[in-house]
Chains A and B, each alone.
Chain A
Amino acid sequence: MNVASQMAVSPATTRAGHPVSSAKPPFLGFGLGLRAQHYDEILNGNPAIDWFEVISENYMIPGGQPLRILDQIRARYPVVMHGVSLSIASTAPPNFEYLAALRDLARRVEPKWISDHLCWTGVHGKNLHDLLPIPYTSEALDHVVNRVQLVQDYLGRAIVLENVSTYVQFSNSEMTEWEFLSELSRRSGCWLLFDVNNVYVSAFNHGYDPRTFLEGIPADRVLQFHMAGHSHMGTHIVDTHDHPVCEDVWELYAAALKRFGWVSTIIERDDHIPPLDEIMVEVERTREMANKILAPLVKQAG
């Protein structure tokens, strides 16, 4: 089932008061991060998932079963490519070998969009395989804007960048994370992937109200939501993506729906992957909450 193709009302027209760029990709509905543990259940069943987000690097390989599976998935569902190694904020020289592989995969998959994270993953030729934080300075902003424009020129499309969970901040930051993201999107033209869990995690870790972050993001630049779980350590939260979404994050999702409207959403689980029917409960909850919160607004707008 693909809700996006069945919607009688274009989501663009439901966002009264929120200008939408004509180039903005379509609303895809309520989806799931594709994981190998679910391949059989997806391909042999007909789960009510509107679309899949795939980890780009898992398919940036020469051949074999993963790419065959991906071909089958994309033949049946809209697919979005989500990377973890673009390292858009790194001061290392751009990795054109990586970009070429990403572009090749995009030609094969024809994703609705390509996303990654506002972070860096390494310098001096090394890769730490982590989503590392940046200082929110004008110097960093200029650097990332230039990198985003370079990547967008290379890929021939606007990219989508996600806010990451962070555990530290830098004393030399000159602006908030949401101000940085807003300005980055405005200047570079990139879209934003609003990870509701990551906002919650970073807000707790740094002691601010997650709703301040939410209110600081321009509504018309948000293309996607992530919903995920985390591990609470008491004094800080670690973004493990290995638990069900907690109630606080569901509450923040409700607030995000009210602010951003119909936004393509996925449940993202990276570890302790449960059976598909278990995670489908969360996918259904994203859908039900959106219908409950946004349907009355559509009626009011009409």
Chain B
Amino acid sequence: MNDLARQQSDFQRAILTGDDSILAEIPDSPREKRETLFGVYKYAYGSRLVEAMGNDHKLLHIYLGDEMFNEMGHAYVAANPSLHPNLRWFSSSLPLFLKSTEPYCRYPVLSDLAALEKALNDAFDAEDAPVAAVADIAGFAPEAWAGLTFHPHPSAVRLDILTNASAVWLALKADEDPPDPVRAEESNRILVWRKDVTPVFRELGAEEAMMWDEAARGIPFGVLCSMLATYHDPDGAAARGAGYLHGWVTAGLLAGVSGGD
């Protein structure tokens, strides 16, 4: 290892671990000790990353309060050094961290709230794509409908959360007191996407969530309707399927529709 590489390695280690051997190669300034001057880099490292996390997770920050968010943020920084040159992606693992790390894992609403904010952030700058219009689907002959497959907009993401984090999110966003955290009886099925330029989400019923998940896997409309028929009212399955589909198209959730072979 050459001298520059060794110095950079030592410098980084001092910031990340506190091993200050690099200080032997740094003189005091005319006005200040080297420890204080090097401390500017040490302080900036953690504070900059926690600030970035706060920008990505504004509502989690409000929910936890400054002190607790700061403490949690520094714990995340210590456990997850940034591996990407773009700060945009630094807090990507925060939901997983909150789900798997004491004491935060004792409060599952935290990881759910972080997951919802992450999904909204990801939708905000997700890949652009054309949005399918009602006319795109109406153009298919009735006999072709069974073979239609649907392409979700690149911003669309499904989340299953086990708490009332979406209600907490809505309250915090409206600058209201959030409800007490509650663990749900069954998964709360959330669909997040970008409508024009604005990230949005809504909750799905079990049937619509199943249809969306299967449609996103490329299952054709005819098969989707057969699956809907297993939920309830088999005779109304096709109409319900068409209704869900119409809702997706008008919401800008689909990037395209393909006809069957």
- A residues in contact (CB < 8 Å) with B: 57-58, 60-68, 85, 87, 90-91, 95, 98, 120-130, 132, 134-135, 137, 139-140, 143, 167-172, 205-207, 235-236, 238
Contacts and interface: CB of A to CB of B under 8 A. Distances in A.
Contact of B15 (A66, A128, A134): A128
Interface residues of B, number: 48
Q: Give the interface SS of chain A, mostly helix, strand, loop or mixed.
A: loop
Q: Which of B34, B86, B128, B194 has the most CB of A within 10 A?
A: B86
A178 B194 CA distance: 48
B4 A121 contact: no
A238 B40 contact: yes
B5 A91 contact: yes
A123 B41 CA distance: 15
B63 to A, nearest CB: 23
11 contacts: A63-B126, A90-B8, A130-B45, A130-B48, A134-B4, A135-B7, A137-B4, A168-B26, A172-B7, A235-B32, A235-B36
B154 interface: yes
A126 B125 contact: no
Given A168-B34, A236-B29, A62 B125 contact: yes
Given A128-B45, A139-B2, A236-B31, A66 B12 contact: no
A130 B52 CA distance: 13
B58 interface: no
A132 B41 contact: yes
B84 interface: yes
Given A168-B38, A170-B7, A127 B85 contact: yes
B102 interface: no
A63 B26 contact: no
B4 A64 contact: no
Q: Which 5 pairs, one residue from A and one from B, show the smallest C-beta to C-beta distance?
A: A63-B128, A85-B85, A207-B30, A91-B5, A64-B125
Nearest to A205: B29
A57 B45 contact: no
Nearest to A57: B86
Contact of A91 (B4, B36, B45): B4
B82 A127 contact: yes
A91 B11 CA distance: 12
B21 to A, nearest CB: 13
A67 to B, nearest CB: 8
Nearest to A234: B31
Interface in B28-51: 29-32, 34, 36-38, 40-41, 44-45, 48-49
A126 B41 contact: no
B9 A65 contact: no
Contact of B32 (A65, A126, A236): A236
Contacts of B32: 205, 235-236
A185 B72 CA distance: 44
A135 B2 CA distance: 13
Given A126-B81, A135-B4, A236-B36, A64 B25 contact: no
B127 interface: yes
Interface string B208-234: 000000000000000000000000000
Contacts of A57: 85-88
Nearest to B48: A129
Nearest to A97: B85
Interface string B124-166: 1111110000000000000000000000001100000000000
